[in-house]
Amino acid sequence: MAKQYEFPNRGLPYLLVLPQMLIVAVFFFWPAAQALWQSLYVQDAFGITLIFVGMENYIKLFKDPNYTSSLIRTFVFSGLVAFTAMAISLFLAVQANRKISFSTFYKTMLIWPYAVATLIAGVLWLFMFNPTVGVVAYFLKHSFGVDWNHIQNSAQAFLLVTLASSWKQISYNFVFFLAGLQNVPATLVEAAAIDGAGPSRRFWGIIFPLLSPTTFYLLVMNLVFAFFETFPIIHQMTQGGPNQATSILVYKVYQDGYINLNLGASAAQSVVLMIIVIGLTVFQFRFLERKITY
Amino acid sequence: MVERSLIRRSAPHLILIIAIFVIVFPIWLIFVASSRSLPEILNAPMPSIPGSHLLENYGMALVEGSKNLGSPALTMLKNSLIMALGISVGKIVVSLLASFAIVFFDFKLRKFCFWSIFITLMLPVEVRIMPTYKVVADLGMLNTYWGLILPMIVSATAVFLFRQFFMSLPREIAEASQIDGASPGQFFRRILVPMTRTPIAAMFVIQFIYGWNQYLWPLLITTKQEYYTLLIGITRMLAVGESQVEWHIVMATTLLAMMPPVVVVVAMQKQFVTGMTDTEK
């Protein structure tokens, strides 16, 4: 891109970036630095003095079976949420992208749930599956004999937070897949149809590869969502339980830092999370640079 | 294209209708629950058509709130609105100024400023939540609107969108205004901002929803009822321990909390979609 015209002024630009830079410094760099620094210390029993312990907080963290199992659980959970939400959205976007009547109505109906807060998604599913008042829980019990109680059953709890999180993410993915599908040149697809490729061949052979930048971008965004932004769902529905079954990393940071006030461990966990996000971001840039278009 | 038969033609409709049903069904249930009395909800299964307590429940939620909470939805509605508007408007203003400086001026720390802002994209708030909490506590901003709003303005998405847009403008515009004797400030107010209307609208929709739907942050820093946002109120109402959840009030409050961002998205769907797909790439 060409360089923009530049006003000859020395002082003004500093004044203009000042508010943004102040906010970034106070609410981004300072806390990030504090997390790094704090992760190297432990507090004594009375919370008065800090003792430098180097990497000990980290070593303890990875030796703690609660933490490593939470780490694995988080990856499984994120993978499941990303896959479910993306597969359903792509399927729906393909349907809505056809030249059919009411397609505008369908699109609007599938897009607006984006505005529903993650917490509210949790409340909705909680209300449906509540063991005493939930309509779905009642239905499961009386039609299938399934005794639904996610407060005690770990597998059910895990399934419930996975479903609620995927539900929440469908609209977001739908918007992007739809935009991606609209950019697929119709001539290519028509040419393939004329050559005798059936609908599924056209989809997997032409449309899906052309969508790969969108798919890849969404994969990263969905992983980030499942990793970090599902906190309201977990906090609302299961509080990490039963038996840590739904305690993902972000929830643990909150629990250890805010509830149990174990600041050193919590700071070390924050740093691990930062490394995971930075890893994902770098991965994304690397991949995008290679431009996965055909 | 090739598909002709009736089944094949109606299949997409059927699939989309089922999908919409799955997505809308939980919301319908909330609506029904918000129009029924507590005994009706507790006596499972709850009927699937609205009852007669709609106005009563909403009135109670708005003015009185749940018994164990002691904070009416009106107060929380006000707080959510202040937070959402504070975040969206604040972010837009701060980002417009910063992108203006970065694109239209040549200054020594330009690169440094750009990269400092850029790096914030990498770390969502959830990741640095505890240290940020400590900083805000040290600044004495717990239970204040400033504390709710400022840390949420950090991220650089808006700076990126505006920067990209500014760079795509023809260079002659700024040049001509400079030759005509307009100061940079006049150029910014009278020419640049009016030209940026569409990206500003798109950003507003996205940031308003982002702000309205914030949860973890207000959960940490609001411990006084008068600063609860709607989402925090809902959580507190559900956390009653042994006593009975007042589902009818919770559901009315949930619907109240859901409506504003939904209205914004439906009313500004076009700006919203372009805004989303533009910022992220």
ipTM of the complex, rounded to two decimals: 0.85
pTM, two decimal places: 0.86
Give helix B247-267 / helix B230-238 axis angle, nearest 10°.
Answer: 150
- Please report the pLDDT score of residue B211 as a whole number: 92
B240 shares its domain with B164: yes
Amino acid identity, position B265: V
A1 in a domain, yes or no?
no
- Please report the pLDDT score of residue B241 as a whole number: 72
Contact criterion met (CB < 8 Å) for A117 and B116? no
- Please report the pLDDT score of residue B69 as a whole number: 73
Structure tokens of B278? Answer: 């533009």
Q: Which of A167-181, A196-210, A259-273, B47-61 is predicted most confidently?
A: A167-181
Q: Chain B: nearest CA to A16, how far in angstroms?
A: 5
Residue A76 has pLDDT above 90, yes or no: yes
Mutation for testing the B interface, residue in A1, A3, A7, A253 having most B CBs under 10 Å: A7
Q: Is A50 helix (H, G, I), strand (E, B) or coil?
A: strand
Task: Compute the distance between CA of residue A246 and CA of residue A161 in angstroms, rounded to an integer.
Answer: 8
Q: Chain A: nearest CA to B269, how far in angstroms?
A: 8
Closest CA to B263 of B185, B184, B182, B209: B209
Contact criterion met (CB < 8 Å) for B133 and A258? yes
B240 in a domain, yes or no?
yes
Residues in chain B: 281
B44 in a domain, yes or no?
yes
Closest CA to B187 of B113, B89, B96: B96
Chain B CB contacts of A7 below 8 Å: 104-105, 174, 178, 184, 187
B232 shares its domain with B268: yes
Chain B CB contacts of A25 below 8 Å: 116
Average pLDDT per block of 10 residues along chain B, 281 residues long = 67 89 87 86 78 83 76 89 95 94 90 85 74 88 92 85 88 90 91 91 89 90 89 87 82 91 87 73 44
DSSP 8-state code for residue A51: E
Number of domains in chain A: 1
Chain B CB contacts of A114 below 8 Å: 209, 265, 272
- Please report the pLDDT score of residue A184 as a whole number: 87
Which of A23-37, A209-223, B95-109, B238-252 is least confident?
B238-252
Mean pLDDT of A129-156: 86
**Tens of pLDDT, residues A44-73:** 656 677 778 878 888 888 888 889 999 999
| Burial class of residue B181, CB neighbours in 10 A (0-12, 13-18, 19+) | exposed
Question: Beta-carbon neighbour count of residue A51 at 10 Å?
Answer: 11
CATH number at residue A160: 1.10.3720.10
B66 in a domain, yes or no?
no
Extended beta strands in chain A, E state: 41-43, 50-52
B11 in a domain, yes or no?
yes
- Split at pLDDT 50, 70, 90, the class of A294 is very low
- Check if the beta carbon of residue B163 is closer than 8 Å to that of residue B66: no
CATH number at residue B94: 1.10.3720.10
A125 in a domain, yes or no?
yes
Contact criterion met (CB < 8 Å) for A32 and B219? no
- Split at pLDDT 50, 70, 90, the class of A7 is confident
- Please report the pLDDT score of residue B78 as a whole number: 93
Amino acid identity, position A43: Q
Chain B CB contacts of A186 below 8 Å: none
Q: Which one of A9, A30, A258 has the shortest CB-CB distance to B130?
A: A258
Contact criterion met (CB < 8 Å) for B98 and A112? no
A2 in a domain, yes or no?
no
B176 shares its domain with B118: yes
B27 shares its domain with B162: no
B203 shares its domain with B99: yes
- Please report the pLDDT score of residue B193 as a whole number: 94
Number of domains in chain B: 2
B91 shares its domain with B227: yes
Mean pLDDT of chain B: 86
A149 in a domain, yes or no?
yes
- Determine how β-strand A50-52 pairs with β-strand A41-43: antiparallel
Chain B CB contacts of A190 below 8 Å: 1
Residue A143 has pLDDT above 50, yes or no: yes
- Please report the pLDDT score of residue B158 as a whole number: 87
B40 shares its domain with B82: no
- Please report the pLDDT score of residue A289 as a whole number: 59
B10 shares its domain with B96: no
Q: Chain A: nearest CA to B25, how far in angstroms?
A: 10
Within 13 Å, how many C-alpha atoms sit on residue A186's CB side? Answer: 5
A135 in a domain, yes or no?
yes
Residue-wise burial string across A55-87, b where 16 or more C-beta atoms lie within 10 A, e elsewhere: ebbbeebeeeeebeebbebbbebbebbbebbbe
Chain A CB contacts of B135 below 8 Å: 26-27, 30-31, 34
Task: Compute the distance between CA of residue A229 and CA of residue B217 in angstroms, rounded to an integer.
Answer: 12
B104 shares its domain with B184: yes
Mutation for testing the A interface, residue in B128, B160, B164, B177 having most A CBs under 10 Å: B128
B101 in a domain, yes or no?
yes
Chain B CB contacts of A20 below 8 Å: 94-95, 97-98, 113, 117, 159
Domain range spanning residue A245? 52-289
**Tens of pLDDT, residues A79-120:** 999 999 999 999 999 999 888 888 888 888 888 888 899 999
Task: Report angle CA B222, A271, A80 to the nearest 5 degrees.
Answer: 85
B60 in a domain, yes or no?
no
B80 shares its domain with B37: no
A16 in a domain, yes or no?
no
B246 shares its domain with B203: yes
Mean pLDDT of A223-244: 87
Contact criterion met (CB < 8 Å) for B122 and A278? yes
Determine phi and psi for A52, rounding to 5 degrees.
-75, 125
B151 in a domain, yes or no?
yes
B114 shares its domain with B12: no
Mean pLDDT of chain A: 86
B209 in a domain, yes or no?
yes
A47 in a domain, yes or no?
no
* H helical segments located in A47-111: 56-63, 65-96, 103-111
**Tens of pLDDT, residues B151-201:** 988 877 888 889 888 988 898 899 899 899 889 999 999 999 999 988 898
A12 in a domain, yes or no?
no
Structure tokens of A219? Answer: 């994969």
Domain range spanning residue B234? 73-279
